Amino acid sequence: MLKNLPLSAAIGLSFTAIYFLAAIFAPVIAPYGMADVVGDVWEPSSAEHLLGTDQIGRDLLTRMIYGGRTTIWIATLATILSFTTGSVLGFLAAVTGGWFDQVMSRFVDLMMAIPSLILALVILSSIEATVITLIILMGLLDATRVYRLARAVAVDISVMDYVEAAKLRGEKLGWIIFREILPNALSPLVAEMGLRFIFMVLFISTLSFLGIGVQPPLADWGGIVKENKEGINFGIGAALYPAIAIATLAISVNLVADWILNRTTSLKGGRG
């Protein structure tokens, strides 16, 4: 599978793997504790602090590693929840049709009419912003986008001959969804998953930058930008490192998603 890997995909896989491995092994590779004050305010890069220190003297590399861990895992779990919920409901609505399809589609239209960030701000202003609540909130809000895509794809697939044949054989709903529709809907869903993951990274970073996302003592990339943004006025680049990390992660994941999309395109033709 990796023998003829394109250069772009290799670069994307390499950077994505580095970020995810750093997230997994953060306690092992981080040079200091996440909240340890180990120097003066905004020290420059040195042998002791490769990226310098932050606004209260914590090692910035350590904060970046732990911040990446928080950001990546929240975004990953929220994306999984989003795609599990949105795709299953979208497939179910497309196959069953009738009142269920109408009710779900109108509800999704209503939810999509409200900007996700504004709705999240309203909800998080009235509940505690824990990691669990952030994952559930982000996953359910984004499930509406996945629902629209999954339903649109499933509507086209559900009229194919092999799906009609499965219905005539008396196959149950679960078989039709997971054995007939899902394999043939992988291409657009995989491509969208990469985009939705990056949206989740940007979403959680935005919420943290606004002060209602990940709460101290946890670190995340958006929070690091917020904490160090004043340093830009003094020529301190501490706030730029998480921005660069977000940008490189976004590009890397999209390169991987494009490669996977090219490999799964053959599934679109179905088994007919």
Asked if residue 126 has pLDDT above 60, the reply is yes
- Tell me which of 157 and 81 has the higher pLDDT: 81
Would you say residue 244 lies in a domain?
yes
Would you say residue 42 lies in a domain?
yes
CB 52 within 8 A of CB 43: yes
Residue 63, pLDDT score:
93
Question: Which region, left, alpha or beta, applies to residue 115 given φ > 0 means left and ψ of -120 to 50 means alpha?
Answer: beta
Mean pLDDT of 127-143: 91
DSSP string, the chain: --TT--HHHHHHHHHHHHHHHHHHTHHHH-SS-TT-B-SSTTPPP-SS-TT-B-TTSBBHHHHHHHHHHHHHHHHHHHHHHHHHHHHHHHHHHHHH-HHHHHHHHHHHHHHHTS-HHHHHHHHHTTS---HHHHHHHHHHHHHHHHHHHHHHHHHHHHTSHHHHHHHHTT--HHHIIIIIIGGGGHHHHHHHHHHHHHHHHHHHHHHHHTTSSSPTTS--HHHHHHHHGGGGGGT--TTHHHHHHHHHHHHHHHHHHHHHHHHHGGGGG---
Residue 268, pLDDT score:
47
Would you say residue 1 lies in a domain?
no
Question: What CATH number should be reported for the domain holding residue 191?
Answer: 1.10.3720.10
Cα–Cα distance measured from residue 99 to residue 93, given in angstroms and rounded to the nearest whole number? 9
Number of domains in the chain: 1
Asked if residue 124 has pLDDT above 80, the reply is yes
The pLDDT tens digits of the residues spanning 143-185 come to: 999 999 999 988 888 878 777 787 777 778 778 888 888 888 8
Would you say residue 11 lies in a domain?
yes
Mean pLDDT of 12-25: 93
Mean pLDDT of 25-32: 92
At CB < 8 A and 24+ separation, what contacts does 12-16 make? Answer: 12/251, 12/252, 12/253, 12/254, 12/255, 12/256, 12/259, 13/252, 13/255, 13/256, 13/259, 14/252, 15/248, 15/249, 15/251, 15/252, 16/249, 16/252, 16/253, 16/256
Predicted confidence band of residue 98 (pLDDT cuts 50, 70, 90) = confident
Mean pLDDT of 89-93: 91
Residue 144, pLDDT score:
92
- Tell me which of 263 and 110 has the higher pLDDT: 110
Would you say residue 193 lies in a domain?
yes
Mean pLDDT of 216-229: 89
Which residue range(s) make up the domain with 52? 7-269
